[in-house]
Amino acid sequence: MSEKLTAFAGKRPTMASSSDGDGNHIHNKILLGLPAKEAEMLLPKLEFVRLKVHQVLHEPGDTLKSAYFVNSGLVSILSVFPDGKCVEVGLVGKEGFIGLPLVAGFRTANTRAIIQIEASAFRVDSETLVGILQQGRALDRRLQQFSQIMAMEVTQVAACNRLHEVNERLARWLLMSADIVDSNCVPLTQEFLAHMLGTRRSSVTVAAGMLETAGLISNSRGRVDIIDRPRLEEAACDCYKIMRTQRAEWRGESHTE
């Protein structure tokens, strides 16, 4: 199905190729899994967009005018408090979608979605999406499944933030991010990591130093490289394996439908 989708997308003027070679090729797993009939209904309505680091897609309370099928990069989902403090509760990459309240019939966001690693996406107008969901059973099903995955991860991350040490949470976070972007290099500053983990920058500095001294990561200005992934998995809390195992189990169930 992926070849059919890529070929169809190549005919769309709003998905023109760009200089970095990524162009309009579809990598989003939700789109790649659609049957041809629903793909032909949805793809002409999509607009290929580039998203810059720290670009905000929506804030809590915003009316969702657009939704995004993430095609590359990394989007953080943050819970924001009245005093301005925030903590990350989810990560979305090419397997996912931004705009889940629309799937449930809601029109406003309850979180902040911010680009963490430079990304690309296929954007769709919210009204258009809602109309297509009423006709596209497979699309609705896949978005409902992704919603459950996100809910599972939000629950696990909440427990993780309460029960586990910063160095364990940092290892878990680096592994999750590396999985999403398919790279052992994660371009992030310690200040941003502190916001994501909901802790002080000094705590992240100490935690990163522990992992680096142990030879698990290399931490330089603006980027973290995973040097020894098997040992980093051992250093991470159980949450990483729990989430990865559940994802794999549900993925297997969806393929048997």
Which of helix, strand or coil describes residue 216?
coil
pLDDT above 90: residue 21: no
Instruction: Give the tens place of pLDDT for each residue, 88-131.
Output: 889 999 999 999 999 999 999 999 999 999 999 999 999 999 99
In this prediction, residue 22 carries a pLDDT of 53
CA–CA separation, 189 vs 16, rounded Å?
32
- Burial annotation 131-166 (CB, 10 A radius, 16+ → b, else e): ebbeebeebeebbebbbebbebbbebbeebbeebeb
Instruction: Give the tens place of pLDDT for each residue, 57-70.
Output: 999 999 999 999 99
Domain assignments of the chain as residue spans, ordered by start = 2-160, 165-236
Close Cβ partners of 156 (under 8 Å, ≥ 6 residues apart): 239, 242, 243
CA–CA separation, 128 vs 15, rounded Å?
18
Q: What is 2-160's CATH topology?
A: Jelly Rolls (2.60.120)
In this prediction, residue 257 carries a pLDDT of 54
pLDDT class for 195, splitting at 50, 70, 90? confident
CA dihedral 114→202→174→198, nearest 10 degrees, is: -50
CA–CA separation, 151 vs 137, rounded Å?
21
CA dihedral 157→159→164→165, nearest 10 degrees, is: 60
Helix segments in 94-189, DSSP class H? 100-103, 126-133, 137-163, 166-181
CATH class of 165-236: mainly alpha
Instruction: Give the tens place of pLDDT for each residue, 154-178.
Output: 999 889 988 999 999 999 999 999 9
